Structure 1
């Protein structure tokens, strides 16, 4: 906090098997391996060092055994004497918040432990109260929803500050006296973010940004004012500043970029999940110049996994440019935030644990049922497209429901979770040794013979996230099974095709649907 020390991570990857990546640009291609620990294999070892600016000396925290664990959310005490770490075991079902001495690196104490039968995922460091070096706020999903808790440095829980079936999505800060705190949450709706104030002593939350939509906010250092970048389905962007409790002043307001263009209708609503009770939000971009008497092809755009929410009350209800482009070409595009996706609580997300692909696909098929109930949908012309986790679901849907989906485009797809990296893979799947049936069920290369429709896989040849090996093993399996996917490689791109080549990517995807759907 005062600049006297610098904490850093040091990673030892010598025990990790390198994965080859080829740099084809030189006259003679060069191998540039990445150290990529796959599920169930040895993981790298991480230590935390502290550099002492006054002496130039570096010490390392004595984090001890086992070395295969995650040292997350480093937090300094205000007096710089203690460094706090949320240590997560490799199984990721236990988090211990520990204190270490900055001068010596010595372990001091464990403040508290959080456990869950599926997984824990601490994502925010301790935040100390102003004028009170002995109390801090901790963000946790321990009751099933992301909420704020007040602790003291002995590890004693003083009180839960926020509560309800909604998620705190961002902690913004305190007032100078430390008697109130500010945060963003989904309390108004899972589709919205509002900015709230609450007393540290407890009480009701006060919504300081009541307009329906998505508020991205910043609190002034003295906590007297809010900078609010706001969007809604009808507001492209409006930036305001306001003293708390007073009318906001508009600083910038984006003009409607659609003026002068023919734009499709965007519908937002809910369907019921495959469990028969959970509402799922969808967005549906209708074909331009829609005629209910005609039949139209539909593309389902899917992600479906943790840390992503595709339907929100932002501009155009978060519909992107490609959806609109395809609507102008006469397609409808549907996206459903299935169970497994973000900001709906732990039970909504962790339904995927040990059975990745099951609940998400069942919910996407509820989306298909919804489409088939529409008289204007051509049920013989349904396509699906997604990237990464969405590429996995796209491929899986094409194989599992090969009588439903005519065309699919899967980008950067996870094909075999046994070959995916440990932190993400083992969090949601456990290890291959612990969950062999789950891994086997989600290994798409074993079902290559089920492919009937037109499927194109796209992969970046230097992808360090979902390594190229994934789509290659699927191709090999298809050769053996005598099935015939199409394939496109971006030789110099990593997990996402970015920059000017992204235009090429989307034209490639569009052409594939145009030719085959």
Structure 2
């Protein structure tokens, strides 16, 4: 009797605890939701190095901490800042602005943007050192710490603001389609994130000049005006004429510009601009339009003349340079080049004559980032060496390639290094850890924990989230999956499945991050009785070139095969309802969603495709031609991947969603598919988000996922 009583008591207590767990709303879990911020793991605001010290925000103060004893003191407060800027006649700040740190090897300081000024404070936070006035429309700021000057763009012009506030015009063309210092050159492929490049000592500025005159106008319509307005953009589609790029060099001494003599053909890609340490030469990794040949070229910075070709890298599929050269401090004749020439992204040591000295890193893993310490003795790299699911930091001895792992915990690490390389701030998460931040002295080996974030989901009902592997369609390659399912699987019950898919290059969805990188919507839907399945098939990121480029010139084929292996595995689970399988994805994932619905209509009952590529000939040149070639030379590949061709295969319920201002996957894709469905007698559903671009962001994102949730509830649940 006593045992029976204890059993009943235990069950009662378990049910009481379960009943107390709260249920998530989309506002809790979706970026843009009213309460989303509460469910993001706690962080340390504005944490960064200032010299060998580190700073962070506490309330309305920026604190500075010395590594030796970790004693902290106030560097500057909001009250201090308002006192400083009031003396300059500027408006007060309402809260602590976003602080940036600069250093030139000898000195350092902090700065922030406010009231149309860049404001620089002294390193001790006691006063304003410099004030840089800005004009309306100024953007793309690039600070040179050596001469204390800013490069910036405004409309299509490029300017420099000197320390005394003088605004120097580098260049502005009367043709509005010619941009100086453009940060969207080559549509930001090849690692391009900016359009200006200061020389090492700040005596000159290299910059991109992009001429889009020859690219056809592509129409977008802005409906926010009383009468809708035409808004043309330049969108070079695969096989069509591209914009032309040249590289200029502006010298502060005489305020003259020379352009590098890059010659023809003019539709080449000029990537990863790097200055030589003595400021005399400029190195460019130049890619042909076919993207199978990369030449490392050297130009004279003063005259623009071509000096020499260092070496050439070729690949029968494609070469994708994404990293500038890294020159070795104290050895200006040596530099590090990043390449996948052995099948994985690794580092190679070259001299400035073009001779390869040696390969620095090697193995069946990828280097993700690299920086060198001021002595030139060590490289600090992040890589996937421990696991394709992890990102860890290693210290590499340049002389012999010996590696030392500096991040002992498993997971995804985003480390910060002090300038000297002695101190590290290790920020990471893993499937059980929301966020951890440790401070390490790499010389003494001492570590201090700065943050162990609590579980932001504590007190809420959570699904079961797992990670594992299955074999790809080749029967050999391991593929990583994430399975998010209801916490309690009832015996004998069958559950609907939604495959969340991307499947394309440059994206990895399954990692050993917080909850295996599960999205908020995955958690929400699993709590509603769905199983959410995601797999990184061949063609996705960070597994080497053979894993990625197997899809070359046949996008959608191999990716589909691997996704169907995932379906085969799902069907082997006794609690999966194989008659209720859906699929959802965005962008390349929207392409894959539609692809899966049309090529396997007997398998997929419901799908939601957001911003989907439908016909690759409507996609832009740089990305499209890298993976598909041109429509002329790969006519069969384009035909096979054109989903308009098989619109008549649609059997299940398919909802397509598009932003009407999408400049990435233009609206023409999904509209052309609607036309093909009409002609084929099939009936997809359609929803447009007015004013949104390639994705739906902000508060409207909650609406988006409520719409998607209702669609699956209506047709899959």
TM-score under structure 1 length normalisation: 0.99
* Pairing partner for 2:449 from 245, 250, 256: 250
Alpha-carbon distance, 1:294 to partner? 1.0
Q: Distance in 1 between matches of 2:400 and 2:646?
A: 54
1:172 and 1:218 in contact (8 A); partners too: no
CA distance in 1 between counterparts of 2:289 and 2:401 reads 38
Separation of aligned partners in 1, 2:387 and 2:421: 25
Which of 189, 195, 220 aligns to 2:393? It is 195
**CA–CA separation in structure 2 for the residues paired with 1:7 and 1:251:** 40
Counterpart-to-counterpart distance in 1, 2:366 and 2:386: 10
Equivalence for 1:148:
347
State the partner residue of 1:304. Answer: 503
1:292–1:375 CA contact under 8 A, matched in 2: no
Q: How does 1:249-398 map to 2 (within 5 A)?
A: 249-398=448-597
Structure 2, unaligned runs of 5 or more: 1-199
Quote the offset at 1:290 in angstroms.
2.4
* Partner SS, residue 568 of structure 2: helix
Q: Which runs of 5+ in 1 are unaligned?
A: none
| Bigger shift: residues 368-377 or 15-24 | 15-24
Residue 186 in structure 1 maps to residue 398 in structure 2: no
Q: Does 1:216 align with 2:419?
A: no
C-alpha separation between the residues in 2 aligned to 1:456 and 1:446? 18
**Structure 1 position 75 matched with structure 2 position 274:** yes
Match of 2:316 among 117, 122, 135: 117
- Take 1:3 and 1:414, find their aligned partners in 2: how far apart are those partners? 43
Moved more, 270-279 or 240-249: 240-249
Match 1:462 to one of 655, 661, 667? 661
Q: State the alpha-carbon separation in 2 of the partners of residues 356 and 484 from structure 1.
A: 25
Q: Secondary structure at the match of 1:347?
A: helix
Residue equivalent to 2:648 = 449
The answer to whether the Cα contact below 8 Å between 2:489 and 2:575 also exists between their aligned partners in 1 is no
* Alignment length (residue pairs): 516
Aligned equivalent of 1:473 = 672
**1:23 shift after superposition:** 0.8
Point out the structure with max Rg over C-alpha: 2
Q: Which digits, 9 at most, give the CA deviation of each residue in 1:171-213, with x for residues without a partner? A: 1322x32122110101000000111112112243111112111
What's the CA shift for 1:251?
1.4
Distance in 2, Cα, partners of 1:325 & 1:172? 40
Deviation, 1:49, is 1.1
CA offsets per residue over residues 246-303 of structure 1, 9 Å max, x none?
A: 1321112211112111111111100000001000000000124322421100000000
Q: What's the RMSD between the two structures over aligned residues?
A: 0.9
SS at match of 1:364: helix
**Preserved contact between residue 182 and residue 198 of structure 1 (Cα < 8 Å):** yes
CA contact (8 A) 1:232 1:317 kept: yes
Structure 1 counterpart of 2:433, from 235, 243, 247: 235
Post-superposition Cα deviations, 1:74-120, rounded to whole Å, max 9, x if no partner, equal 11111111111100000000100111111111111111110000000
Asked if the contact 2:423/2:440 (under 8 Å) is kept, the reply is yes
Distance 1:389 1:127 in 2: 33
Q: Structure 1 CA distance, aligned partners of 2:377 and 2:491?
A: 57
| Displacement after TM superposition at 1:15 (Å) | 1.3
For residues 218 and 257 of structure 1, the distance between their equivalents in structure 2, rounded to whole angstroms, comes to 24
- Quick one: distance in 2 between partners of 1:463 and 1:292? 45
Aligned to 2:365: 166
Match of 2:263 in 1: 64
Query: Could you tell me how far apart the structure 1 residues matched to 2:434 and 2:293 are?
Result: 42
Q: Deviations over 1:342-381 (max 9, x none)?
A: 0000000001101100110000000100110000000000
